[in-house]
Amino acid sequence: MTTKDPSHQQIIIPMNKEAAYTYIKDVNSHINSINHALKSIKSNILADFIHIDDKRIITSTNNIASLSDLQKIKKCIKNSLLNDGDQVSFP
């Protein structure tokens, strides 16, 4: 994880390029899914956008994510890539 500025957080998830491009094709649905999952744990953060940078997906949120928020976001991304799960590497 790296902080972009004091009010934003970038969550970086490494994966192979093909899996990243497959994931990004339906980005709006994934953002909605992540935000729904975060609401279910009563989190105060929301995913703003997702983009690809080389061999990783970067999810930017409106605030710094706690450990439970981070785990929930990773779980959402992993669940959406079940078919490509062996290609996803979480740090």
Give the rounded percent of residues in the chain with a pLDDT score beyond 70: 80
DSSP alpha helix (H) spans, the chain: 17-24, 27-40, 67-80
Count of C-beta atoms within a 10 Å radius of residue 59: 23
Specify the pTM. 0.77
Which residue has 């994510």 as its token pair?
65
**pLDDT tens digit sequence for 13-39:** 888 888 888 888 888 988 999 999 999
What does the pLDDT read at residue 14?
85
